Amino acid sequence: MQNMVNVYFYGKQYSVPAELTIMTAMEYAGYKLVRGCGCRHGFCGACATIYRIKGSNELKTCLACQTQVQEGMYISTLPFFPADKRTYDMEEISAEQRVMMELYPEIYSCIGCNACTKGCPQSLEVMQYIAYAQRGDFAKCAEESFDCINCGICTSRCPAGISHPMVGVLARRLNGKYIAPKTEHLAERVEAINSGAFDEIIEKVMQKPIEEMKELYNTRDIEK
Amino acid sequence: MFTAEMLESIKKVEATRAARIGVEPRRMTAEEKDELLRKFHPDYRAEGFQEIKVGPNKGEKAPYELGTLLHSNSRLLGAPINLEKVDYDVDVLVIGGGGAGSSAAIEAHEAGANVMLVTKLRIGDANTMMAEGGIQAADKENDSPQQHYLDAFGGGHFAARPELLRRLVMEAPDAIRWLNDLGVMFDKDPDGRMVTTHGGGTSRKRMHACKDYSGAEIMRVLRDEVWNRQIPVVDFTAAVELIMDDQGQVAGAVLQNMETGVYLVARAKTVIIATGGAGRLHYQDFPTSNHYGATADGLVMGYRAGAPLLYQDTIQYHPTGVAYPAQIFGALVTEKVRSLGAMLINAEGEAFMHPLETRDVSAASIIRECRERGKGVPTPTGFGIWLDTPMIEMIHGEGTIEKRIPAMLRMYLNYDIDMRKQPILIYPTLHYQNGGLEIGGEGFTKAIPNLLVAGEAVGGIHGRNRLMGNSLLDIIVFGRNAGKAAAGKCKEVTLGRMNLDHSQTYAEELKAAGLDTQEVSPLLLPKYTFGMPK
Ligand SMILES: Cc1cc2nc3c(=O)[nH]c(=O)nc-3n(C[C@H](O)[C@H](O)[C@H](O)COP(=O)(O)OP(=O)(O)OC[C@H]3O[C@@H](n4cnc5c(N)ncnc54)[C@H](O)[C@@H]3O)c2cc1C
Ligand code: SF4
Ligand code: SF4
Ligand code: FES
């Protein structure tokens, strides 16, 4: 006999095998998912979910695709939560504190309740990355928010109405483009290719008979 | 979380670990690899395939499940579609909101075209978001585009289309530069040099990464850029059939709202198919690493309209999918785990192969170890082989796993497995569609004017096997190229009368061939309702 547990999708009871995730349990119960399901492996943030175990007053949040069902789970999915993304031209902005201040001024209304951090299924220090953004320390904000999958749970919990993942992506882009050190070998190689330095040799390789290519491939030296 | 039997086997792995550090297992010879593939790679299992009975690739074989979709009728036969009522009218229609589609949309927009992107789920709900390991480009002094070409050509069994592979390697450094300028955070040394590693089959360390969220980092930046440019994104809307005109050119697509079922007509002067892969067709019953919408829709729509496929019979099984625990069965364990030094170890504690053979060879070798040699570790779903992750921290120091592969650590910790201390169990998973719609060097299909294809939906860039890191690269290189080419081409296009006649003709061909699958295609989403998970 399979080990079954009782769970409640939107308040309605279903008996499902205990080894399933919330996502596969919904399918087992008969749901055909369109919303709330993307990568199915913890990378896209489509499956934000909120639940409470019967008899407990603690509200928990998680990713439906990464969380095993438990007896007495009262489950509601959160397939969409209105966040507010501001638009900008990456070429026109810079890594100055005032850029964030102008685009996302509401971050200064954070009351320090830490609900965002408690809700994050990636265990990120969300309130901390918002604090870094407030200070204009985009490198630290980028580092701290790096594993964010844009599930929107923090946004749904925030009394200050902050769209945390949008703040994070701006900080990371500023960091990647303006703060991180420039890569000289990359610029040089692009330049060399554009100037035609590899045209002749690549043409030659393309023309080689397959037998010769096989020989070259099987005897090529491999960097240690 | 491991069973008692697994814990017993772990002891054997631990017993040989110290002696294995610094010792590289022998690589297989070309002959050994050939024989191994023939005997154990799923591509060589005849039962997994069927002959295509209609259309341009008639007489060739395709994976059974894909064949069935090719042998099925349009969703629109008999549906009351009024092509006169145009809901969207654009220069460039991009189908698919993954990395290829988003790059194409950005470049088409940059070139001044009126571009729209439709996607089945949300933009970014895509295989691109899930890529962990990294992206190749020959941008270091000891490396060159021709070396990159040689690795990819050999790794793909000398079957790649030279004009496509040339573009891939020659435009690779510029793809990295483009992403970097958009703000993608590549792993770099303090002096700005890219941190690069090996991937299976590379002869130079040219794998660039963003920790083990490489695809996610690229995808979220591309998505943010699409949003910044305010390019129209129509989400939860699938393309279900291409529309043609009376001159035989592509003229748009019929779309369907995934929630309401409503059909919509999009007219376009150029169409870019960027619908990605097919993992959710579960070939040969394999689990998959792919996202929910990977159902080969673009291949089916393109083929029905007359565009040939190339290498549709070659599939990549990633050697290291999760074998245990069941909740994450089939999820990917990035190749980077092996790049960082973890070895593949059988139930007896033996390193039975070099950990960085190409993917097809590695997958076949793992299958042989379990099926023929009986040295797999039994799991509730079959077998697994150990991936000895604690080696990583012995080689590179404590903290490496958290710093370099945080997504993997997190995924296992969810199930109380600490990969820093215990090895993990893996088995091949259905990962990538090597083949797809055939294109020429400029990104256009050869059969249908103004139809372009980019990304995993293309066949021929990699040949019959793809190296890690060359797919994230191809979606950027060929996505960008398609966007530019489509924006250039649309200026010369005048559309004639729109029609769906080809779906009717196809229906007649199916009938003449005596085929009636009782299904319609494209599939759009896999059927998991009331089922146990795959
Ligand atoms: C888990 C995993 C890890 C990987 N790791 C790496 C790696 O480290 N390095 C590497 O180079 N490659 C890697 N790959 C491969 C690589 O990520 C993909 O091949 C690549 O990202 C595909 O990009 P794409 O844009 O072509 O398709 P996708 O990113 O899959 O996008 C396709 C989009 O089209 C949409 N779509 C599908 N059908 C329709 C339709 N009918 N109408 C409208 N929209 C539709 C989909 O919903 C999706 O949004 C990995 C793949 C996976 C699954
Ligand atoms: S920071 Fe917010 S959006 Fe990002 S993963 Fe955590 S809860 Fe989700
Ligand atoms: S939830 Fe909002 S207000 Fe509370 S700590 Fe987080 S950002 Fe600040
Ligand atoms: S479905 Fe993508 S994170 Fe759960």
Share of residues in chain B with pLDDT > 90 (%): 93
pLDDT at B1 (0 to 100): 80
DSSP state for residue A109 in the 8-state scheme: G
Residue A59's beta-bridge partner residues?
A52
Interface contact A38-B258, CB threshold 8 A: no
Instruction: List the structure tokens of B295.
Output: 């159902």
Give B196→chain A minimum CA distance, Å: 12
Interface contact A27-B533, CB threshold 8 A: yes
Reduce the DSSP state of residue A134 to 3 states and report it: helix
Mean pLDDT of B491-497: 97
DSSP track, B404-466? H-HHHHHHHHTTT--TTTS-EEEEEEEEEE--EEEB-TTSBBSSSTTEEE-GGGEESSSTTS-
B431 Cα nearest atom in ligand 1? 53
Which of A107, A164, A170 should be mutated for ligand 2, with most atoms under 8 A from CB? A164
State if pTM tops 0.90: yes
B167 catalytic? Reply is no
pLDDT at B534 (0 to 100): 63
Question: Alpha-carbon distance B455 to B483, whole Å?
Answer: 12
Number of Cα atoms under 13 Å in the Cβ half of residue B187: 19
Give B239→chain A minimum CA distance, Å: 15
Which of A110, A127, A144, A148 should be mutated for ligand 2, with most atoms under 8 A from CB? A148
Which residues from B are below 8 Å from A28, CB to CB? 530-533
Report ipTM (2 d.p.).
0.98
DSSP state for residue B152 in the 8-state scheme: H
Predicted confidence (pLDDT) per residue in B90-99, tens digit: 999 999 999 9
Tell me: pLDDT of B278 over 70. Answer: yes
Q: Which ligand is nearest to the CA of A46?
A: 4
Which residues, at least 6 apart from B473, have a Cβ–Cβ distance to it below 8 Å? B135, B136, B137, B168, B172, B175
B338 catalytic? Reply is yes
Question: Alpha-carbon distance B79 to A148, whole Å?
Answer: 42
Give A190→chain B minimum CA distance, Å: 6
Angle among Cα B286, B288, B289 to the nearest 5 degrees reads 155
Average pLDDT, chain B: 96
Asked whether A75 and A49 are in contact (CB, 8 A), the reply is: yes
Predicted confidence (pLDDT) per residue in A141-187, tens digit: 999 999 999 999 999 999 999 999 999 999 999 999 999 999 999 99
Tell me: pLDDT of B533 over 80. Answer: no
Give the binding-site residues of ligand 2, using a 6 Å CB cut-off: A 45, 119-120, 122, 124, 126, 148-154, 164-165
Tell me: pLDDT of B355 over 90. Answer: yes
Q: Measured on CA atoms in the order B529, B526, B253, B227, is the torsion positive or negative?
A: positive
Q: Which residue of A has its CA nearest to B165?
A: A206
Residue B245's beta-bridge partner residues?
B498
Mean pLDDT of B180-201: 96
Q: Which of B161, B280, B318, B431 is catalytic?
A: B318
B209 Cα nearest atom in ligand 1? 8
A114 Cα nearest atom in ligand 3? 5
pLDDT at B531 (0 to 100): 78
Question: Alpha-carbon distance B152 to B149, whole Å?
Answer: 5
Give the binding-site residues of ligand 3, using a 6 Å CB cut-off: A 110-116, 126-127, 130, 157-160, 162
Predicted confidence (pLDDT) per residue in B379-434, tens digit: 988 899 999 999 999 999 999 999 999 989 999 998 999 999 999 999 999 999 99
Q: Which residues in chain A show pLDDT less than 50?
A: none
Q: For residue B364, what is the enclosing H or E element?
A: helix B359-371
For an interface test with B, give the residue of A3, A41, A218 to mutate (most B CBs within 10 A). Answer: A41
Give B369→chain A minimum CA distance, Å: 25
Question: Alpha-carbon distance B331 to B127, whole Å?
Answer: 12
Predicted confidence (pLDDT) per residue in B326-354, tens digit: 889 999 999 889 989 999 999 999 999 99
Predicted confidence (pLDDT) per residue in B130-163, tens digit: 999 899 999 999 999 999 999 999 999 999 999 9
Question: Alpha-carbon distance B123 to A63, whole Å?
Answer: 18
A115 Cα nearest atom in ligand 3? 1
pLDDT at B228 (0 to 100): 98
pLDDT at A224 (0 to 100): 87
DSSP state for residue B28 in the 8-state scheme: P
Tell me: pLDDT of B23 over 70. Answer: yes
Question: Alpha-carbon distance B421 to A20, whole Å?
Answer: 26
